[in-house]
Amino acid sequence: MFTGLVQAMGRILRAEDEGAGRRLAIAWDGLASDDPIVLGESIAVNGCCLTAVAIDGERFEVQAGPETLLRTNLGVRAAGDRVNLERSLKVGDRLGGHFVQGHVDTVAALQERRTEGEWEFLAFSIDPAWTPLMVPKGSIAVDGVSLTLVEVAEDGFSVMLIPHTLAVTTLGLLHPGDAVNIETDMLARHVQKLLGR
């Protein structure tokens, strides 16, 4: 379980195909030495919950299977790319974002980006199958970042980003056409299933 509050922007050092999956080596610069990553730990990489399978100080490796590659943007990430990183919640941690499982639903594409004062407006297109799970002022995770939805259309949605979010996450680096990982609100998914019965 995560909060969608990104703790660091990591850097992909290496991306290698492993059969139908991929192995990523990632640098977490500035990781606290008194709280090292441990083998088997869950880490959200661009919002996707992955397991640390190898560790070397501030560097760690994860594996992404076929289902993960199908639903996320991790299949197109390469050495040098930046990724959002968040460690899983500990009991007693503050919950400043919203409950994020790290189970990415799908990808969306950035359609429009415009500056509004110090803020930035970002509009994304998405498969219309996912927008029934979104409501204005509701929560969404975009590349692992907990955000508030501004507008929701049949095939898209928009968000507004403050300067801090632009500076400390990969969302500040996005260009039109870029793909982002989307996790809809898990409560909305459960309600939809219950009402669907």
Measured between alpha carbons, how far apart are the two ends of the chain, in Å? 27
- The pairing of strands 42-45 and 106-116 is unpaired
- pLDDT in the model for residue 193: 79
- The backbone torsions φ and ψ at residue 30, rounded to the nearest 5 degrees and listed phi first, read 85, 10
- pLDDT in the model for residue 188: 81
pLDDT band at 141 (very low <50, low <70, confident <90, very high): very high
The percentage of residues in the chain with a pLDDT greater than 70, rounded to a whole number, is: 99
pLDDT in tens, 1-52: 999 999 999 999 999 999 999 999 999 999 988 889 999 999 999 999 999 9
| Average pLDDT of the segment spanning 179-191 | 89
Mean pLDDT of the chain: 94
Architecture per CATH, domain 8-87, reads as Beta Barrel (2.40)
With a cut of 90, say whether residue 76 has pLDDT above it.
yes
**Alpha carbons 162 and 55: distance in angstroms, whole number:** 33
Tell me if 21 sits within 8 A of 63, measured CB to CB: yes
- pLDDT in the model for residue 197: 62
- pLDDT in the model for residue 127: 98
With a cut of 90, say whether residue 95 has pLDDT above it.
no
- pLDDT in the model for residue 36: 93
Options 3.40.50.300, 3.40.50.10740, 2.40.30.20, 3.30.70.1880; CATH of 106-196 = 2.40.30.20
Spell out the domain ranges in the chain. 8-87, 106-196
Please tell me if the domain spanning 8-87 has the same topology as the one spanning 106-196. yes
- pLDDT in the model for residue 115: 95
Tell me if 45 sits within 8 A of 9, measured CB to CB: no
